[in-house]
Amino acid sequence: MKRRSWKEFKGVAARVLPGEIRSSINPKGEITFDIETFRRMGEPQAMFLLYEESTRTIGLKAAHPDLPNAVLVRVRLAKTNRVVRSAPFLKENGIEIATTLRFPYPALEDNILVLDLRTAVTCGKGGWKKPNRRAPGRPKLTDEERQKLRDEKASRQAQQKIERLNQRQQSLARARQYLRRPDDPTDDSPPIEAPRGTFRSGGF
């Protein structure tokens, strides 16, 4: 039997486990966390944003909304997520976020949500992505080529519309032949013999 040379995936696999804390951060300074974590923290109306430079770790701590440095907790998705927004927090601490990051190992320590940037991984938007129809190595279409494709599509749609109209007119013409009166002087089309037992104007 041939021995296979397997390569094991070493990345962090995305998963949702019961009771697991879920949290992410994006370049706008929006830190999102799940509703269950929000409830475990006491459903605070605002939070302090903390940062530990030596470990590049962010902390979220419940705070009173009247305090000047407390960031309000807002609804992202009513049934699943909450979010705090503070771009100045990132700027003040020199935190650069190029894309949305997911924290695979968030934790609650003394009711502080701990988010370690060192272990954060790129976060996808979820759902199925549309396949790339352009073949590998194929150059990108120019504006003229794209316009030509749009014109060809519009021409095909117009032709299909004309064909549908012609079919409809033919159907109406056939229907008029069956419904016309035999003694109608305005109708010069050849009469169609009705099957026996069919009611016709003037008798059976």
Paired with 73 in beta bridges are 84
- Predicted TM-score (pTM) of the model is 0.54
In contact, 58 and 115? CB cutoff 8 Å: yes
Q: How many domains does the chain have?
A: 1
Residue-wise pLDDT tens digits, 153-169: 888 888 888 988 888 88
Closest CA to 124 of 13, 10, 9: 13
Lowest mean pLDDT among 77-86, 111-120, 185-194: 185-194
**Inside any domain, residue 2:** no
**Inside any domain, residue 161:** no
How far, in Å, CA of 36 to CA of 79, rounded? 10
Full domain range(s) for residue 42: 23-122
Residue-wise pLDDT tens digits, 93-118: 999 999 999 998 899 999 999 999 99
**Inside any domain, residue 129:** no
In contact, 25 and 123? CB cutoff 8 Å: no
**Inside any domain, residue 131:** no
**Inside any domain, residue 57:** yes
User: What mean pLDDT do residues 163-192 have?
Assistant: 71
Confidence of residue 171 (pLDDT cuts 50, 70, 90): confident
